Amino acid sequence: MNLQFRFRRLVKKHQSQLFSLAYHLLGQSAEAEDVVQDVLVKLWQHLPELEAARVKPWLLRVTRNASLDLLRRRRYSQAYVTETVNAGPQVVSESPLERLSSSDLGQRLAEAIRQLDEPYRSLVLLRDVEEMNYREIAEALELSDSQVKVYLHRARRRLRERLGSELDD
């Protein structure tokens, strides 16, 4: 198959899932778009050597890593600015899930997801929001299948404990 044609198909197929993951991790549309653009350009550069079955996990892994790198840089930068100018406590912005969730419980769930540590947050996003299968998640996060299950169970348990009685009817 022609490389350009294959690339165009992959871009169309995966761009929304990559954008969604980056957006949920970063909480900002412009940054998420920049990350996905960079990732897709990298895909173009590496496409000849990537097996078809490995493209999706590769894309998700690179997107997640780039988003987390950006997040770390942003936090470092904000912490530096806060410390330097003594601007007071850092304002925590709403995540996209919070903005999108219309119900109160949905918003609190989104907040609880945002407060999860890695890799729990990515696991919940990939499995429960993006509905990816365990194998793809394991490859994307470079975990074993059993680690994915155990960590995912732990992540859901933390969410359940955090939300408590709010989950009752």
Task: Give the residues lining the site for another protein (CB under 8 A).
Answer: 3-4, 7-8, 11-12, 15-20, 23-24, 29, 33, 36-37, 40-41, 44, 96-97, 99-102, 105-106, 109-110, 124, 128-130, 149, 152-153, 156-157, 159-160, 163-164, 167-169
Residue 75 or residue 160: which is nearer to another protein going by CB?
A: 160
Distance of closest approach, residue 69 Cβ to another protein, in angstroms: 20
71, 26 contact by CB (below 8 A): yes
Distance of closest approach, residue 112 Cβ to another protein, in angstroms: 10
Residue 49 or residue 83: which is nearer to another protein going by CB?
A: 49
Cα Dmax for the chain: 57
Distance of closest approach, residue 90 Cβ to another protein, in angstroms: 24
Residue 28 or residue 82: which is nearer to another protein going by CB?
A: 28
- Can you give the three-state secondary structure of the chain, one letter per residue? CCHHHHHHHHHHHHHHHHHHHHHHHHCCHHHHHHHHHHHHHHHHHHHHHCCHHHHHHHHHHHHHHHHHHHHHHHHHHHHHHHHHHCCCCCCCCCCHHHHHCCCHHHHHHHHHHHCCCCCHHHHHHHHHHCCCCHHHHHHHHCCCHHHHHHHHHHHHHHHHHHHHHHHCC
Distance of closest approach, residue 80 Cβ to another protein, in angstroms: 28
Distance of closest approach, residue 39 Cβ to another protein, in angstroms: 9
Residue 126 or residue 141: which is nearer to another protein going by CB?
A: 126
Residue with tokens 């299948």: 145
Residue 79 or residue 167: which is nearer to another protein going by CB?
A: 167
